[in-house]
């Protein structure tokens, strides 16, 4: 029988304010839930965007959604997980019961659509309090805390041999880009690719294009400091649009006989989306949207562009189904077939989380892993 656990967490009390390290109380898991001792968490740009209060954020809240950990206790009726299991904490559930999961084609489990952004558990309540106040969760995860409670559907059991301080990156950033190239685009051997934006997502996309044996991978960013790591992960060319005397799409059309076969937008800006679509070849070019763009903006496409064979596809979590596919990615990492280490440029303690946020905002890191 488990009880309330008191532990440290980084609490966001108000939109746009620095996180405060506090003592919080974490309730035992209810039916269909597990309590996890968080071992490590990455910091993803979606955390920063939400903490700023401009999108999705609920306050007071505990952010962080790229976590790994060990099950501490399980709620009633939980049979697939037990204390001691090593898990990844994922924002995208795979409930196996909703219409989308049952159909098995896409990965956007309706549990995420329904509960993912409420900041509360499925029963409409919170499991964490601080100074007597209920604390919202973030996308059903919350990993900037030593203990968290999540639905079993947001918890993926993984190979216990895998180092949790590295595999946490498989909870969001790396699969999102890697799968964008492999699953969503299905990049063909010998094809040409352009990747817009070289944060962790864009770099993982470069790695995915390389894994699919693309012949050319053009890595694009307005920060040329990103080019070294992009090359390490497989980029054949690196371009800073600021150094061109023409729009990047014109440059790609000029240098790739009318455009590239695949383009990937990993920024989430309308301007880069338009350039990414403009840069693909007529006939079969595919533009993959990975970056999360503002929800009040729409894409304008001249229909004939689609009729002549250009297409746009969206990609969410790299098209991976979390329960089915993420354990396999963990095994690939354990077998030395998937690079996660290159993405980890910094490691910090929870106390230094505000420094980690500043580093990412300033484009000075790829991923900082917080070890709890």
Q: Would you tell me which residues interact with Zn ion (CB under 5 A)?
A: 44, 46, 172
- Rounded CA-CA distance 310/287 in Å is 8
CB of 285 to Zn ion, least distance (A): 27
Binding mask 263-292 for ligand CXF (x = CB under 6 A): -----------------------------x
| 26/172 with CB nearer Zn ion | 172
| 196/256 with CB nearer ligand CXF | 196
Residue 183 touching ligand CXF (CB under 6 A)? no
Residue 171 touching ligand CXF (CB under 6 A)? no
| 46/167 with CB nearer Zn ion | 46
CB of 325 to ligand CXF, least distance (A): 16
Residue 172 touching ligand CXF (CB under 6 A)? yes
- Sole binder of ligand CXF in the list 27, 41, 46, 191 (CB under 6 A): 46
| 11/44 with CB nearer ligand CXF | 44
For ligand CXF, how many residues bind (rule: CB under 6 A)?
4
| 46/275 with CB nearer Zn ion | 46
Q: Which does 164 bind (CB under 5 to 8 A by kind): ligand CXF, Zn ion, none?
A: none
Pairing relation of β-strands 147-151 and 155-157?
A: unpaired
Q: Which does 203 bind (CB under 5 to 8 A by kind): Zn ion, ligand CXF, none?
A: none
- Sole binder of ligand CXF in the list 44, 195, 267, 288 (CB under 6 A): 44
The residue number whose beta carbon is nearest to ligand CXF equals 46
CB of 173 to ligand CXF, least distance (A): 7
| 138/277 with CB nearer Zn ion | 138
CB of 305 to ligand CXF, least distance (A): 27
CB of 23 to Zn ion, least distance (A): 27
Residue 287's alpha-carbon distances to 16, 248, 279, in angstroms, are: 33, 15, 9
Chain residues in the site for ligand CXF (CB under 6 A): 44, 46, 172, 292
């Amino acid at each position: 029988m488990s009880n309330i656990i008191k532990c440290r967490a980084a609490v966001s009390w108000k939109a746009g304010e620095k996180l405060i390290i506090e003592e919080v109380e974490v309730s035992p898991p209810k039916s269909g839930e597990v309590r996890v001792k968080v071992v490590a968490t990455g910091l993803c740009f979606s955390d920063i965007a939400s903490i700023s209060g401009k999108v999705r954020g609920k306050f007071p809240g505990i952010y962080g959604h790229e976590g790994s950990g060990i099950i501490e206790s399980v709620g009633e009726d939980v049979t697939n997980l037990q204390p001691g299991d090593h898990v990844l904490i994922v924002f995208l559930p795979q409930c196996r019961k909703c219409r989308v999961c049952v159909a098995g084609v896409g990965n956007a489990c309706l549990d995420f659509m329904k509960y993912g952004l409420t900041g509360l558990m499925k029963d409409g309540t919170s499991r964490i309090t601080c100074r007597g106040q209920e604390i919202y969760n973030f996308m059903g995860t919350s990993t900037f805390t030593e203990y968290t409670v999540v639905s079993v559907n947001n918890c993926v059991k993984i190979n216990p041999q895998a180092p949790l301080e590295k595999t946490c990156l498989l909870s969001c950033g790396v699969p999102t880009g890697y799968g964008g190239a492999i699953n969503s685009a299905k990049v063909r051997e010998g094809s040409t690719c352009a990747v817009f934006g070289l944060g962790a997502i864009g770099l993982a996309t470069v790695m995915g294009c390389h894994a699919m044996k693309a012949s050319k991978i053009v890595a694009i960013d307005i920060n040329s400091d990103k080019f070294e790591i992009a090359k390490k992960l497989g980029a054949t060319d690196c371009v800073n649009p600021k150094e061109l005397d023409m729009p990047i799409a014109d440059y790609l059309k000029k240098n790739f006989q009318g455009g590239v076969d695949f383009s990937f937008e990993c920024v989430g800006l309308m301007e880069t989306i338009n350039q990414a679509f403009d840069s693909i070849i007529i006939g079969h070019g595919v533009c993959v949207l990975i970056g999360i763009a503002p929800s009040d903006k729409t894409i304008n496409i001249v229909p004939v562009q689609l009729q002549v064979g250009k297409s746009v596809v969206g990609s969410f979590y790299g098209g991976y189904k979390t329960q089915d596919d993420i354990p396999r990615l963990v095994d690939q990492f354990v077998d030395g077939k998937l690079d996660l280490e290159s993405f980890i440029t910094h490691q910090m303690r929870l106390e230094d989380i505000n420094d980690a946020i500043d580093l990412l905002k300033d484009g000075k890191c790829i991923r900082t892993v917080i070890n709890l």
